[in-house]
Amino acid sequence: MVEVSVLPYSSRDSKFEETTYFDPEPGSEFRVPLIGGETECVVTITHIYWESVVEVESFVVNTDAVIKPFTEVEQSPTILVIGDSISCGYTEPDWEPIPRGCLDAFPFQAKRFLEQGPAASSREGTQVHIELVAYPGISLVEPIDDEGETMSFCMLRKFFHRSSGRSDNEHWDIKGSPVVIAIALGTNDKNYCVSADQFEEALKEFIRKLRNNFVTVRQFWLFVRRHASLVLL
C-alpha cells in the first residue's frame, strides 16, 4: 500500500494537500490527480507497510509536462527515524489494526504536529521530510535466544543491510542527507534482558556508525526506554 499526496507548489501548505491510497499489483499503473488550476504540484509517494516492497518502474507525463527535482534550497529538512513496532505502526494480528499503518504511527504524527499543530502557529508551519527505518520486534543489541545462540535481528546490524530478512546480510548503498536522526529503540532490548551497560555501548557504537555515514546530521534525538537520562552529543 502506498499513499500519494499532491500539494500545490505555490503554497506548500499541508492544509491544501490531497491524498490518495493505492494498493499496487505487479505491472499496474496509477494516475496521480493533480490539483486543478495549479501549474506546479509537489507529489509525494509514501510506502506504508514494512513487510512489502514497491518498485516504481517509471513516471509517465504529458508531452508538455516536466518532472523537476527539488533544489537543495527547496528541500524540507529530513528527519531519519530509526525504530521498532511503535515507529512503523505494526500491530499483532489479534490487535486492532492501525488504519494507515506507519502514517498513523509516531513519526508521521509528529510530522503533522510540527506542520499543523499549535506549535506550528508561531513558525508558520515547520515543513519536514520523514525517512523511516523501523521493524517490528527489533532490538538495538543482538539478543540471545533460549539456547544461548546470538540472533542477528538487531538494528545495530540490520540498519546497514539491504533487507530486513534475518538471513540477508547484503549491505545497501547508504544515501540521504538527514539533519536529524531520531532513535526510538529499547523496548525489545528490555524484553530480551539486555544489560544497561551492553545497551549503552551498543548505542554509542550505532551513533558513531551513523555519523560516519550521514555527515549532514546536526542532532541525534534519543527516545530510548532503558535510559531516559542518557544523552550523547
**Are both 26 and 57 inside the same structural domain?**
yes
3-state secondary structure of 41: strand
Last residue of a domain, one of 41, 69, 97: 69
**Are both 56 and 128 inside the same structural domain?**
no
pTM comes to: 0.71
User: Cell triple for residue 24?
Assistant: 499496487
User: Cell triple for residue 220?
Assistant: 541525534
Place of cell 543482538: 142
Residues in the chain with pLDDT values less than 70: 11-15, 33, 35-39, 49-53, 71-74, 117-126, 145-151, 164-168, 225-233
Domain that holds residue 28: 1-69
Last residue of a domain, one of 69, 99, 129: 69
Structure confidence at residue 148 (pLDDT) = 66
Burial class (CB in 10 A: 0-12, 13-18, 19+), 225: middle
**Are both 15 and 123 inside the same structural domain?**
no
Per residue in 84-135, pLDDT (tens digit) is 988 988 877 787 777 777 888 889 888 888 777 665 555 455 678 888 899 8
Provide the CA 131 distance to its chain's centre, in angstroms.
3
